[in-house]
């Protein structure tokens, strides 16, 4: 049955929001400031929530970024009265599953926002209570996220003494530490925090981010502190301090997430990249193989057009992010492909030495890629084709209309930058599937959802796809992983999930 015009418009509206929720973080981009980004994102959230609320909630099951996931949760809870009991139950399950998968510091900030907005209905209190009850180590949270736990407990009216002596200690630690004075805590972390105020050795028993403040208070030299706290640091914390603490081991790099690793590589100067070429390349390829998994080598002939123009430098708050996505995508596509060819806009051939420089001749590079007749063409770019302007769109239009109407070559454009003025990621051509991307790890899934962006598929197919993703996310499909299996624990000194970028 043919889709109505209204259904096609609705599908396009939903895809606009999904692309924004994947890429936009309300921060400054190369072509737009923070204020424009936030205004544009605020409008999209309000528009989709009011007009397509079930889809708005279902977006929590997609690979959207944590910034937008937290905003969706907040607005679903703030407007709970707009839906009936059945819809609220579905939203509650999606909210609980998404919160279980989010970094804890992000969730604590969300709870603080709910308190500031005076959202304190019964469902909100239950969600806060259940999330805190599921935390693997509340004492660790109380030390590392003290103000966050304190705010959440107050807002949800949690006594923190239902689980026996240890929970009672957490309550004392948060709300009655002055009354306890120097009385010892049975929990080692809580007592280490107490002793760290006057005993330097105690701070090395604390999580890294908490110990940093005490180290500064005690006047401990930075290099001494980093050396002694190394065993308490997460892998991401080690990378962040590597310039001060010395080069990280190959094992550390080999276990890093792909896009995060690409960002680290790009933060090094050219001399360091050349000197550590084997180590860095091996780590990137290892991370790409982990992401590719069983699909490695199954994509046939793949050509990629990768944007390393000056605009790939990003902004002061998202430095080199677009270029990092392109670099990570290069290694992932190399792992997925049977045969692979990369075409950087700069004309460079050494991916490890890429830097944001020059114009964006996407049209010329797309021509180079299509000459090899690939089965898949993947374009990773912010879409600002300017050498000359519009050539890329015209090349793709003529290719699809005249030279490849049978669609022997699948084309997809992945854009890591949200365009605030267009309420979407910038597209190269109307008939080219385009999707927003934040992490290269999501590339295979985004290539799937991009098929809905061609304008030939309506709301029914898109809703069916979202329903399948929700079922998988909630574990309602036999054999599918349950939602709590994706939660990030942070026992000990903390998990890498705690260091996630906005």
Extract the tokens encoding 77: 């809870």
Rounded to 5 degrees, φ, ψ at 32 are: -150, 145
Residue 214 predicted with pLDDT over 50: yes
Burial class (CB in 10 A: 0-12, 13-18, 19+), 243: exposed
Q: How many other C-beta atoms are found inside a 10 Å radius of the C-beta of residue 355?
A: 16
- DSSP code for 62: S
The predicted-structure confidence for 132-153, as pLDDT tens digits, reads as follows 988 888 888 888 998 999 999 8
- Integer distance in angstroms from the first to the last C-alpha of the chain? 42
Helix (H) or strand (E) holding 301: strand 301-306
User: What is the average pLDDT score of the chain?
Assistant: 83
Question: CA-to-CA distance for 169 and 12, rounded, in angstroms?
Answer: 52
Cα–chain-centroid distance for residue 486? 14
Question: CA-to-CA distance for 496 and 494, rounded, in angstroms?
Answer: 7
Taking alpha carbons only, the member of 490, 465, 481 closest to residue 18 is: 465
The predicted-structure confidence for 258-305, as pLDDT tens digits, reads as follows 999 999 899 889 999 999 999 999 999 999 999 999 999 999 999 999
Residue 458 predicted with pLDDT over 80: no
Calculate the CA dihedral of residues 323, 329, 330, 336 and round it to 10 degrees.
180
The predicted-structure confidence for 6-19, as pLDDT tens digits, reads as follows 666 777 788 888 88
Helix (H) or strand (E) holding 424: strand 424-425
Taking alpha carbons only, the member of 233, 205, 230, 201 closest to residue 218 is: 201
Residue with tokens 């544009």: 40
Q: Is the peptide bond before 500 cis (omega within 30 degrees of 0)?
A: no
Average pLDDT over residues 335-357: 94
- In CATH, 254-456 is 1.10.3470: no
Lowest mean pLDDT among 244-248, 281-285, 415-419: 244-248
Using alpha carbons, list the distances in angstroms from residue 487 to 76, 327, 497: 21, 28, 9
Lowest mean pLDDT among 227-236, 330-339, 410-419: 227-236
């Amino acid at each position: 049955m043919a889709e109505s015009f209204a259904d096609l418009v609705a599908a396009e509206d939903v895809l606009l929001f999904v692309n924004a929720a994947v890429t936009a973080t309300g921060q400054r981009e190369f072509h737009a400031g923070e204020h424009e980004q936030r205004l544009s994102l605020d409008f999209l959230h309000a528009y989709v929530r009011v007009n397509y609320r079930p889809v708005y909630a279902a977006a929590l099951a997609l690979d959207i970024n944590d910034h937008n996931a937290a905003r969706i949760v907040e607005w679903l809870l703030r407007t709970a009265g707009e839906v009936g009991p059945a819809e609220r139950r579905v939203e509650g399950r999606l909210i609980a599953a998404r919160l279980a998968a989010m970094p804890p510091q992000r969730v604590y900030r969300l709870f603080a926002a709910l308190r500031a907005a005076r959202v304190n209905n019964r469902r909100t209190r239950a969600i806060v209570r259940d999330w805190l009850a599921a935390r693997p180590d509340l004492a660790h949270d109380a030390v590392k996220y003290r103000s966050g736990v304190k705010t959440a407990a107050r807002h949800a009216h949690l006594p923190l003494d239902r689980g026996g002596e240890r929970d009672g200690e957490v309550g004392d630690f948060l709300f009655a530490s002055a009354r306890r004075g120097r009385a010892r805590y049975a929990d080692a972390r809580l007592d280490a925090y107490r002793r760290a105020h006057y005993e330097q050795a105690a701070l090395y028993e604390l999580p890294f981010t908490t110990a940093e403040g005490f180290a500064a208070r005690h006047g401990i030299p930075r290099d001494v502190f980093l050396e002694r706290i190394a065993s308490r640091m997460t892998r991401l914390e080690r990378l962040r301090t590597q310039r001060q603490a010395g080069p990280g081991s190959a094992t550390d790099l080999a276990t890093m997430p792909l896009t995060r690793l690409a960002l680290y590589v790009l933060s090094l100067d050219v001399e360091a990249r050349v000197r550590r070429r084997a180590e860095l390349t091996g780590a990137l390829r290892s991370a790409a193989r982990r992401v590719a998994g069983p699909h490695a080598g199954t994509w046939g002939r793949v050509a990629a057009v990768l944007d390393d123009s000056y605009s790939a430098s990003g902004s002061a708050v998202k430095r080199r992010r677009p270029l990092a996505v392109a670099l990570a995508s290069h290694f992932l596509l190399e792992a997925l492909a049977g045969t692979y060819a990369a075409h950087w806009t700069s004309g460079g051939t050494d991916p490890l030495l890429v830097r944001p420089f020059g114009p964006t001749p996407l049209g010329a590079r797309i021509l180079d890629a299509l000459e090899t007749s690939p089965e898949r063409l993947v374009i990773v770019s912010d879409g600002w084709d300017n050498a000359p302007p519009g050539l890329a769109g015209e090349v793709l239009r003529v290719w699809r209309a005249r030279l490849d109407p049978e669609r022997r070559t699948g084309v997809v454009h992945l854009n890591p930058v949200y365009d605030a003025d267009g309420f979407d990621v910038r597209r190269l051509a109307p008939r080219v599937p385009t999707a927003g991307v934040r992490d290269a790890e999501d590339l295979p899934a985004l290539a799937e959802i991009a098929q809905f962006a061609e304008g030939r598929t309506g709301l029914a197919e898109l809703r069916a796809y979202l329903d399948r993703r929700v079922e998988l996310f909630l574990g309602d499909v036999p054999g599918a992983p349950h939602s709590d299996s994706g939660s990030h624990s942070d026992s000990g000194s903390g998990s890498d999930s705690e260091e996630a970028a906005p």
